[in-house]
Chains A and B, each alone.
Chain A
Amino acid sequence: MPDFDLVMYEAEFRRIDEELKKLYHQANAKVVFLVDKNGQLVASAGDSSEIDTTSLASLTAGNIAATGGIARLLGEKEFSILFHEGEKDNIHISLIGHRIILVVIFDNRSSIGLVRLRVKKSTEALAAIFNEITSKSETKKQEKVIDDSPFAEITDEDIDNLFR
């Protein structure tokens, strides 16, 4: 496999959550999301009740993937920041390491300059946490000590039950 499964534990999740909340407040954002490059929502801060977060995550990842494709055609490794400006809302998308996408949605109560500045600061903190997550899950996987693994005893019946 070219990449590792992303396994998130409670402790790291809480740290990520805190970091996102901080960014949300400091950047005066409407909502802040973390999405993995495969299109899965990892965490969010702010009021996302009116947003279809699953679709947003998948489309953001598609957007990053397409932009990455364009970058490679031009001989760039990747474009690390995307920015879309709307009439009311704007969206700032940036990469954290090679795996995670940070999405900040903001309106005229904030500004692109402020968002960029705060994103830059949070990116370092978040990247460090994700590095820890990767090494932690790899060690656990190698030592075969995944706590409380829901898969170890998965049966055909469990799977059949999903399709009832």
Chain B
Amino acid sequence: MSFINYSSREINCKIVYYGPGLCGKTTNLQHIYRKTNPDQKGKLISLATETERTLFFDFLPLALGDIRGFKVRFHLYTVPGQVFYAASRKLILKGVDGVVFVADSQVERMDANIESVEDLTLNLQEQGYELSKLPFVIQYNKRDLPNAVALEELNRAVNPDGITWFEAVATKGNGVFETLKGVAKLVLMELRKNY
């Protein structure tokens, strides 16, 4: 649900990073925050616990530039990944324009990935969205770890529809901007389709 303001010539879009606990959603946003020019970003807000686990959400506003005279702003959000924050997770999806699913490549997190995709699908359905109709990309994070599962297996588990995916090592920044660009492109294409 984007907000298009013809008066101030701005377009605002909301992108949500979803995924199981500790998969690297916040790390993605932190990397984007570090690597973006100060004039293109707002504050990175993290509503987190004392142990730096996301409690409600992280929020990063980005103003990347102009398209045809309109300032394009992306508001990036993460959800709390831990299972027991289900109620808060649902709230963040409200009005979403694009979703990044961050999967943890480690073999022991495969069940958590699958559970989280199912949770995402259900939570969107509850709000009247269909995941297959939303701008949606997958990021396979932590590709540098020795216990990372093969890509084919990950695709089989969480990406049966074969949507666009990216490999990443968010702690080093690899693949982070590629993922953001991938989802931003889909969101803008969706706007083109509708307007």
Contacts and interface: CB of A to CB of B under 8 A. Distances in A.
Nearest to A59: B45
Contact of B56 (A3, A13, A62, A148): A62
A141 B61 CA distance: 27
Contacts of B91: 62, 65-66, 68-69
Interface in A28-84: 36-40, 42, 52, 54-55, 58-59, 62, 65-66, 68-69
B98 to A, nearest CB: 13
Contact of A8 (B1, B6, B94): B6
Interface residues of B, number: 47
B28 to A, nearest CB: 15
Nearest to A153: B68
Interface of B is mostly: mixed
B47 to A, nearest CB: 7
A159 B185 contact: yes
Interface in B44-100: 45, 47, 56-57, 59, 61, 64-65, 67-70, 72, 75, 87-88, 90-92, 94-95
A68 B15 CA distance: 21
Contacts of B69: 150
A163 B75 contact: no
Interface string B10-52: 0110100000000000000000000000000011010100000
Contacts of B67: 150-151, 154, 158-159, 162
A128 interface: no
Contacts of A38: 1, 3, 14, 75, 94-95
Nearest to B69: A150
A8 B3 contact: yes
B177 interface: yes
A87 to B, nearest CB: 22
A38 B13 CA distance: 9
Interface of A: 1-10, 13-14, 36-40, 42, 52, 54-55, 58-59, 62, 65-66, 68-69, 141, 146-154, 156, 158-159, 161-164
Closest 4 A-B residue pairs measured CB to CB?
A2-B128, A38-B95, A13-B7, A150-B68
Given A13-B8, A58-B61, 16 more contacts: A6-B2, A7-B4, A10-B7, A38-B75, A38-B95, A39-B14, A40-B12, A58-B45, A62-B91, A65-B91, A150-B11, A150-B70, A151-B188, A153-B68, A162-B65, A163-B64
